[in-house]
Amino acid sequence: MTEEEQILRVCSAFQLRGEYRSYETITYGHINMTYKVYFFRDGEIKDYILQRLNTYVFKNPVEVMENTIAVTEYIRKKIKETGVSAKRYVLHYQRATDGEYYTRTEDGGFWRCSRFIDDSVSFLRAETPEVMEEAGRAFGEFQLYLSDFPVEKLHIAIPHFHNTVMRYETFRESIRADACGRVKDVLPEIDKCLEFEETATAMYKMQRGGELPLRVTHNDTKCSNILFDKDSLRHLSVVDLDTVMPGLVGFDFGDAIRAGANTADEDERDIKKVSVDMEKFEAFTRGFIGAVRGSLTANEKKSMALGALTMTVECGMRFLTDYLDGDKYFHIYHPDHNFVRARCQFALADDMIGKMDEMNEIVRKYCEE
């Protein structure tokens, strides 16, 4: 079966009406396979997003969908209560013929389908401080929408996802196993990662010690996980809800900085180009802290910048671990992709260490405003 035939089969399971026109592959994500499909109905193009969930990463995809539906329904209700139509502000998933929000294919595929939000765009990286500030508002608002969500209803989609202590253990196991004989080629990066250990595990330990509260968090706050209105560039909806779980607000803040405030791409080879763009850092802080400020504890406020460093080190460590394991987790587009990504994250983390005081000062300023 060709890819297109498979896509058509999935579309028919979701009873997408109208005449099929075409599809395109969206290559942003590192985990799931994402396609946009175009149908023609009532004189108009209707577009949908089809995703094949990565079941190596998400061992229990049904639970992932239960979380996603619970969260989107919760947000939809809140938006509707304000008298606004939620259509463009939260994802709408389609039911398959059997009533479930997913369908399976014979080759073991697990698929879901949502309507494409009209006139929306997303960005791999925030090109301007204005987009970063809007991204801050989007994730801050998301945090507020879910602040009273019943946490016990959420499944843990990936256990220990931001448990940096355990991430270091796994990293050491991968070094010991050296499954692909790559350890000898990446010794400086391994050392670098280990150097960060004390700092990068501090927040997790604070949470365990009761110094930082668990909240419902998104856990993958890349700029590419926000849809913006294509004209006004106002945020519409947060997407990719696969990892919504209890977590630390500083990690949601921090991962957005890691992904959005880097002066280079996540997989930049030339690490001289990698640094934190402080204007974008400040813009995101203004948007995010402006939205959540009132709900933060004193320790949370103090931990935001450390959250950025923690997420950057953790992400670098995850890329490097996957490189050592033989690239089983993240999609790669060339053989040393995970290694290049890891080296870039560590360079960004180095730059953050030098800018820690400045970052903390900016956060403090917006918390007090």
Q: Which residues bind ligand GN1 (CB under 6 A)?
A: 29-31, 57, 220, 222, 225, 240, 242-243, 266, 315
Q: How many residues does the chain have?
A: 369
Residue pair 222/259 in contact (Cβ under 8 Å)? The answer is: yes
Which of the residues 307 through 326 are near Mg ion (CB under 5 A)?
Answer: none
Question: Which residues are bridge partners to 246 per DSSP?
Answer: 216
57 contacts which partner out of ligand GN1, Mg ion, none, CB within 5 to 8 A by kind? Answer: ligand GN1
To the nearest whole angstrom, how small is the minimum distance from the Cβ of residue 239 to Mg ion? 9
Residue pair 64/42 in contact (Cβ under 8 Å)? The answer is: no
Question: With respect to Mg ion, which residue has the nearer C-beta, 122 or 199?
Answer: 122
Integer Rg of the chain from CA: 20
* 6 contacts: CB under 8 Å, gap ≥ 6: 105, 109
303 contacts which partner out of ligand GN1, Mg ion, none, CB within 5 to 8 A by kind? Answer: none
To the nearest whole angstrom, how small is the minimum distance from the Cβ of residue 318 to ligand GN1? 7
Question: With respect to Mg ion, which residue has the nearer C-beta, 186 or 256?
Answer: 256
Helix (H, G, I), strand (E, B) or coil at 249: helix
Residue pair 334/360 in contact (Cβ under 8 Å)? The answer is: no
* 103 contacts: CB under 8 Å, gap ≥ 6: 10, 13, 14, 96, 97, 111
Residue pair 221/256 in contact (Cβ under 8 Å)? The answer is: yes
To the nearest whole angstrom, how small is the minimum distance from the Cβ of residue 299 to Mg ion? 28
Alpha carbon 314 to chain centroid distance?
A: 14
Q: Tell me how many residues contact Mg ion (CB under 5 A).
A: 2
267 contacts which partner out of ligand GN1, Mg ion, none, CB within 5 to 8 A by kind? Answer: none
* 205 contacts: CB under 8 Å, gap ≥ 6: 165
301 contacts which partner out of ligand GN1, Mg ion, none, CB within 5 to 8 A by kind? Answer: none
What's the N-to-C CA distance of the chain in angstroms?
59
Determine which residue in the list 133, 189, 240, 252 makes contact with Mg ion, applying CB under 5 A. 240
Question: With respect to ligand GN1, which residue has the nearer C-beta, 141 or 242?
Answer: 242
To the nearest whole angstrom, how small is the minimum distance from the Cβ of residue 259 to ligand GN1? 6
287 contacts which partner out of Mg ion, ligand GN1, none, CB within 5 to 8 A by kind? Answer: none
To the nearest whole angstrom, how small is the minimum distance from the Cβ of residue 112 to ligand GN1? 14
| Residue 63 neighbours by CB distance under 10 Å | 14
Determine which residue in the list 141, 189, 220, 267 makes contact with Mg ion, applying CB under 5 A. 220
Counting beta carbons within 10 angstroms of the beta carbon of residue 197, is it exposed (0 to 12), middle (13 to 18) or buried (19 or more)?
Answer: middle
112 contacts which partner out of Mg ion, ligand GN1, none, CB within 5 to 8 A by kind? Answer: none
Question: With respect to ligand GN1, which residue has the nearer C-beta, 8 or 33?
Answer: 33
To the nearest whole angstrom, how small is the minimum distance from the Cβ of residue 53 to ligand GN1? 10
222 contacts which partner out of ligand GN1, Mg ion, none, CB within 5 to 8 A by kind? Answer: ligand GN1
To the nearest whole angstrom, how small is the minimum distance from the Cβ of residue 161 to ligand GN1? 7
Residue pair 237/251 in contact (Cβ under 8 Å)? The answer is: no
300 contacts which partner out of Mg ion, ligand GN1, none, CB within 5 to 8 A by kind? Answer: none
Place of tokens 């945020």: 235
Q: Which residues bind Mg ion (CB under 5 A)?
A: 220, 240
